[in-house]
A = this chain, B = another copy of it.
């Protein structure tokens, strides 16, 4: 059996990458969405093991030391990370796995899983992003400006990804996402079995 694909999805906040991933999973329940671990406290309505794996700081740190994370980071004094074991299990079982993570985290994944597929979600335009960022609530212009600056930093890393997934409409974005998955499964480097079978015959 072929190993599953590791699909790393990033993109500035406001691009709707979470919406695209959820819509994809509805259409393709065979795909596994990795749940992150965090040391921050659960918010009302968040479920352990679904929203996040909620962990104590000591446990998180000891998991860092035992190389239990594919990637991890500290934001606002809380740890966030992608537990390795579950992802490895799913991939070995031939299931495709999605990591919806920040750009910094994605770059860590790249060094450990160079065969992963890196997808960067973008809105129809930078102007649209500005609109989406400001349309989220009643934030002050400074906050919006700050977010846009972060978004531009994230964009500047876009070239390290394999695909740019345009999210103009969710349904279309899901179709494009599925194309990427189907095409990647056909890449020569993922089909060693064929190449090797031929070599045996020559």
Residues on B with beta carbons closer than 8 Å to the beta carbon of A164: 186-188, 191, 194
Instruction: Determine if B201 and A188 form an interchain contact, defined as CB atoms under 8 angstroms apart.
Output: no
Residues on B with beta carbons closer than 8 Å to the beta carbon of A202: 152, 155-156
Distance A106 CA – B193 CA, assembled complex (angstroms): 23
Residues on B with beta carbons closer than 8 Å to the beta carbon of A159: 188, 195
Residues of A157-202 whose CB lies within 8 A of B = 158-159, 161-166, 175-176, 178-180, 182-184, 186-188, 191, 194-195, 197-199, 201-202
Give chain A's interface secondary structure class. helix
Instruction: Determine if B156 and A198 form an interchain contact, defined as CB atoms under 8 angstroms apart.
Output: yes
Residue A72 interfacial (CB < 8 Å): no
Instruction: Determine if B201 and A152 form an interchain contact, defined as CB atoms under 8 angstroms apart.
Output: yes
Residue with the highest number of chain B CB atoms closer than 10 Å, among A152, A156, A182, A186: A186
How many residues of chain A get a CB closer than 8 Å to chain B's CBs? 33
Residues on B with beta carbons closer than 8 Å to the beta carbon of A120: 188
Distance A186 CA – B159 CA, assembled complex (angstroms): 12
Residue A122 interfacial (CB < 8 Å): yes
Residues on B with beta carbons closer than 8 Å to the beta carbon of A197: 126
Instruction: Determine if B158 and A198 form an interchain contact, defined as CB atoms under 8 angstroms apart.
Output: yes
Task: Tell me how far the C-beta of A30 lies from the nearest C-beta in chain B, rounded to whole angstroms.
Answer: 16
Distance A155 CA – B158 CA, assembled complex (angstroms): 35
Please, what's the 1-or-0 string for A31-63, where 1 marks a CB less than 8 Å from any CB in chain B? 000000000000000000000000000000000
Residues of A139-163 whose CB lies within 8 A of B = 152, 155-156, 158-159, 161-163
Please, what's the 1-or-0 string for A102-139, where 1 marks a CB less than 8 Å from any CB in chain B? 00000000000000000010100010000000000000
